[in-house]
Structure 1
Amino acid sequence: MINPYDKLHIYYLDGIPNIDKSVQNIETFLGTWVDEDISFLFFSCFSDDMVEGILKRNKGISVVEKYEMTGEQWHGDRIEPYYVKDLCICPPWNIPIGNDGTIKRILLDPGVVFGTGRHQTTEDCLDLIHRLCTSHRIQSVLDIGSGTGLLSLGAAVLGCKQVMACDFNHLAVKTTLNNIRLNKFENQILAFQAKGEEIMDIPCDLLVANIHYDVMQHMIDKPFFLGKKWFVLSGLLNSETKKVLAALSQKNIHIIERRCPDGIWNTILGKTMP
């Protein structure tokens, strides 16, 4: 398999077009990233004529800017194999040769969703998931803000029997679904689109949320939050972490660890008390 993101052609639009199946089924179309009332169309080759056709079918929308860059420039990081504990995370077109059986492999196609898994918060979450899954009985996981699905994949490969991967962004859910199929975890991981604060009633042993503070503050206030035995909260800046910890201090919760190795991004590991 070759790297499909070697060269990206990105079209920034001032609206959200309806992309019909005639475009979705074209191999060079990589997806649409939607952010409020703007969108980005991704192609693996020059696609001005195709975009012009899309705009003709979607009146009132125009191209703001066009970009050409590599997938690594878009993600802001190299797309290459790396390791977290005994997990090897690698793109499907660059799989390390040889494995003595001690390494668990996760194939991760990052698509055009931001992130290769190397952000500090993602690595910290994956490290804590590894710690919990290898030292406690974690049967079910709810992953809110799943992105590419890496944290859900990590939980599944570490033995969790039921993993629910939730993201509000449709392209992120599609990317997670693709990675579930790549790793043959269709029977362990369910990916779906929803707002994190609206699904807190789903029971699980471990809640993982690597999300924005504006969502997390509502999530931890839900009464069902206390029904989660373990939780890993991440994606928080220092000032936001203080607010989250202050809110959690009012609940019957034990904070096991707060980590911030880069001095910027925080991750919290905690447990609800019986």
Structure 2
Amino acid sequence: MSNPYEYLYIYYLEGIPSSLDPAIKESTFIGNWEEDGFSFLFFSYPHDDLINEMVAREDHLSLIDKYEMTSDQWHGDKIESYTAGSLVISPPWKIPFVNQRNLTHILLDPGVVFGTGRHQTTEDCLGYMEYLCRKEKISTVVDIGTGTGILALGAAALGCDRVLALDFNLLAVRTTLNNIRLNDFHDRILAIQARGEAFMAVPAQLVVANIHYDVMKILIEAPEFVEKPWLILSGLLKSEADKVCERLKEKSVTLVERISPDGVWNTLLVQGRSVPTI
């Protein structure tokens, strides 16, 4: 199997298309990333005519730019297999032969969504998840801002029974659903398009949030958030992590550990108000 996204043609639009013409959906269309009133339409083959027709038809749309690049360039790194603790994470078109009883394989097709798993924050979250799962039985997990679903997949692979994967971006949720299918985790992971703060009341032993600080500072104000037994918080620069730590201290929760292996990104392991078993 070869990489289906080996080369990308990306159309950057101001505005959100009202609907996609059937001709676009039937073409080599990969997906549409929508955010803050802008759209990125991804194709595996150029479709200038289709895009120009759509922009001409919908007055609120305008084409800002067009990009041609490899998927490696889009993701900022090669999409390759790697090991994180006891997990081997591989794209479905490049599965290594690793015959070791103590390793668990995860297939991850990132599509065009950021999150191949190689970012420092992702590896740190996976490391803390494995630490907790080795210490006690973690049955229920909420993954906020799931992206490609890598942390939800990791939770399921580590033995968690019920994982709720949330992302407000529809393309991210669709990508996660595809990865759930690839790993046959339908019975363990539920992926939903939603904002994390809307699901804070959902019972869970562990909440993982690898997200922007602007979202994090809203989440930590939810009363139910700090009631969870365990929190893994990441995606934070030093000054942002300082603010989160200070606010958590005011809420009387315990910072178990704070790490920043690369000196840039910070990840926090937090014990909430509900007392865990270890």
- Give the unaligned 5+ runs of structure 2: none
Aligned to 1:122: 122
For 1:136 and 1:23, the matched residues in 2 are separated by 52
For 2:154 and 2:195, the matched residues in 1 are separated by 22
Aligned to 1:195: 195
TM-score of the two chains, using structure 1 as the length reference? 0.96
Please report how far the alpha carbon of residue 71 of structure 1 lies from its aligned counterpart in structure 2 after TM superposition.
Answer: 0.4
Alpha carbons of structure 1 residues 98 and 269: separation in structure 2 relative to 1, 3 Å? closer
Aligned to 1:145: 145
The DSSP-based 3-state class of the residue aligned with 1:101 is coil
Residues 257, 269 of structure 1: 8 Å contact kept: yes
The DSSP-based 3-state class of the residue aligned with 2:2 is coil
For 1:257 and 1:147, the matched residues in 2 are separated by 25
Aligned to 2:92: 92
Residues 115, 150 of structure 2: 8 Å contact kept: no
Q: 1:248-263 residue pairs with structure 2 within 5 A?
A: 248-263=248-263
Aligned to 1:229: 229
Alpha carbons of structure 1 residues 19 and 3: separation in structure 2 relative to 1, 3 Å? farther
The DSSP-based 3-state class of the residue aligned with 2:122 is helix
Please report how far the alpha carbon of residue 49 of structure 1 lies from its aligned counterpart in structure 2 after TM superposition.
Answer: 2.1
Please report how far the alpha carbon of residue 40 of structure 1 lies from its aligned counterpart in structure 2 after TM superposition.
Answer: 0.6
- Count how many residue pairs are aligned between Structure 1 and Structure 2: 274
The DSSP-based 3-state class of the residue aligned with 2:250 is coil
Aligned to 1:215: 215
The DSSP-based 3-state class of the residue aligned with 1:175 is helix
Residues 231, 269 of structure 1: 8 Å contact kept: yes
- Give the unaligned 5+ runs of structure 1: none
Structure 2: which amino acid aligns with 1:198?
A: A
Structure 2: which amino acid aligns with 1:61?
A: L
Residues 235, 265 of structure 1: 8 Å contact kept: yes
Residues 8, 45 of structure 2: 8 Å contact kept: yes
Q: 1:60-79 residue pairs with structure 2 within 5 A?
A: 60-79=60-79
Structure 2: which amino acid aligns with 1:52?
A: N
For 2:70 and 2:32, the matched residues in 1 are separated by 17
Q: CA RMSD in A?
A: 1.4
Please report how far the alpha carbon of residue 102 of structure 1 lies from its aligned counterpart in structure 2 after TM superposition.
Answer: 2.5
Please report how far the alpha carbon of residue 168 of structure 1 lies from its aligned counterpart in structure 2 after TM superposition.
Answer: 1.0
Deviation per CA, 1:50-84: give whole Å up to 9, x if none: 22333244233121111100001001011000000
For 1:255 and 1:69, the matched residues in 2 are separated by 42
Task: Please tell me whether residue 34 in structure 1 is matched to residue 49 in structure 2.
Answer: no
Please report how far the alpha carbon of residue 24 of structure 1 lies from its aligned counterpart in structure 2 after TM superposition.
Answer: 6.3
Please report how far the alpha carbon of residue 272 of structure 1 lies from its aligned counterpart in structure 2 after TM superposition.
Answer: 1.7
For 1:232 and 1:27, the matched residues in 2 are separated by 41
The DSSP-based 3-state class of the residue aligned with 1:9 is strand
Task: Please tell me whether residue 156 in structure 1 is matched to residue 165 in structure 2.
Answer: no
The DSSP-based 3-state class of the residue aligned with 2:224 is helix
**Identical-pair percentage:** 54
For 2:223 and 2:73, the matched residues in 1 are separated by 42
Structure 2: which amino acid aligns with 1:16?
A: I
The DSSP-based 3-state class of the residue aligned with 1:223 is coil
Residues 203, 227 of structure 1: 8 Å contact kept: no
For 1:150 and 1:178, the matched residues in 2 are separated by 12
Deviation per CA, 1:15-65: give whole Å up to 9, x if none: 111343725643611101112011110000111122233324423312111
Deviation per CA, 1:133-167: give whole Å up to 9, x if none: 12211000000010000000000011100000001
The DSSP-based 3-state class of the residue aligned with 1:138 is coil
Alpha carbons of structure 1 residues 7 and 203: separation in structure 2 relative to 1, 3 Å? same
